Structures are given as structure tokens and as C-alpha cells.
Amino acid sequence: MFDINEIIPEGFCLKCDGCCRFTSDDSAWFGRLLKEEEKKISKDRFRPIPNKKDNNFLCAFLRIDDNKCKIYKTRPFECRLYPFLLARDAKTGKIFLALDRNCPFAGQNLKNAEFKKYTEYLSALFKTPDFAKLIKSNPQVIQSYQGVLNLAELTNETK
């Protein structure tokens, strides 16, 4: 499994009710599993489920009563990467390290030096041969998102 350092403290996420919630069951925002993760996490279990109370969909691993992830320590790569995303520009096909501007932590920290340094760390990491291979062998983790901030181009290859 590929490991990445994370910048957002777990406690910050527990106070937020933004991620892990989706407007549809086929939302681009719902994480995709790496091929390696599919062996550990069943695709049938890793899916959005209807939430009639708020008329949306929730990750099946989100405990709504305390806002905790049932598999936090072993959650999928894309969940660990969030609010950073691997995004494909729909017009050019280029792949970017992008940021979901709706994440409160990202909004509060976007301009600070530590956040910028972390962005540089991720950008460099995704350009390494191992991560380039990860991206190439797992195209499902690259989505086109609305309203994200493209931070760094990772490749100029198109599909």
C-alpha cells in the first residue's frame, strides 16, 4: 500500500460534516478504490448508501452519530488524500493535483506556509516513478471535478 503523510488532524475532520456525504450515489466525489485496496475492502461495502433524513448519500463506513469513519486507520488512499484530489481537466485531459475548496481546513490554511509546503510534498510525491505507476494503473482515481483548485500539473498526457 502506498503511504502518504497527512496534514489535516483527525480531530478537525470529526468536527466537520462535509465529506463522506454526496448528492448522488454516482458522485465523482465518492472515493474510488485502488486495485490493491479492492482485495481488502469489498466494493459492495464501499459505496454510498441513501440517507433519507438529509436526502443525500453517505459513505457506508461513516458513523453518522459521531461523524467517525469505521475504517479510519485503514481507509482508502483517496480518503487519506482528501481534500487533495487527482483531477483530470475535461478539456485538455491533463492530470492535476487539485484541492477541494469546500474543505474548511483547506479554506483556513490554503495560504499558510505549512500548507504550501505540504502541497509541494504531494506534487513531488506524485511525480515519483512509484506514484506515477500508481496513477497509470488506477485511472479510476482520477476524476473530473467541478470547482476544484488545480494546484500542480502531474502529467501532460491525455487519455
Q: Are strands 149-155 and 95-99 parallel, antiparallel or unpaired?
A: antiparallel
* Number of domains composing the chain: 2
Asked if 89 and 150 touch (Cβ cutoff 8 Å), the reply is: yes
Domain termination residue (choose one: 32, 54, 74): 74
Domain termination residue (choose one: 50, 74, 98): 74
* Whether residues 62 and 92 fall in one domain: no
* Whether residues 91 and 158 fall in one domain: yes
* Whether residues 87 and 159 fall in one domain: yes
* Whether residues 99 and 144 fall in one domain: yes
This prediction's pTM: 0.89
* Whether residues 40 and 57 fall in one domain: yes
- At 6-41, the pLDDT tens digits run 898 878 887 888 889 999 999 999 999 999 999 888
* Whether residues 87 and 69 fall in one domain: no
- Spatial separation of the C-alpha atoms in residues 122 and 105, rounded to whole Å: 17
* Whether residues 94 and 142 fall in one domain: yes
Domain termination residue (choose one: 74, 92, 111): 74
pLDDT at 13: 82
Instruction: Report residue 96: phi and psi, to 5°.
Output: -125, 150
* Whether residues 68 and 87 fall in one domain: no
- At 60-109, the pLDDT tens digits run 999 988 889 999 888 999 999 999 999 999 889 999 999 999 999 999 99
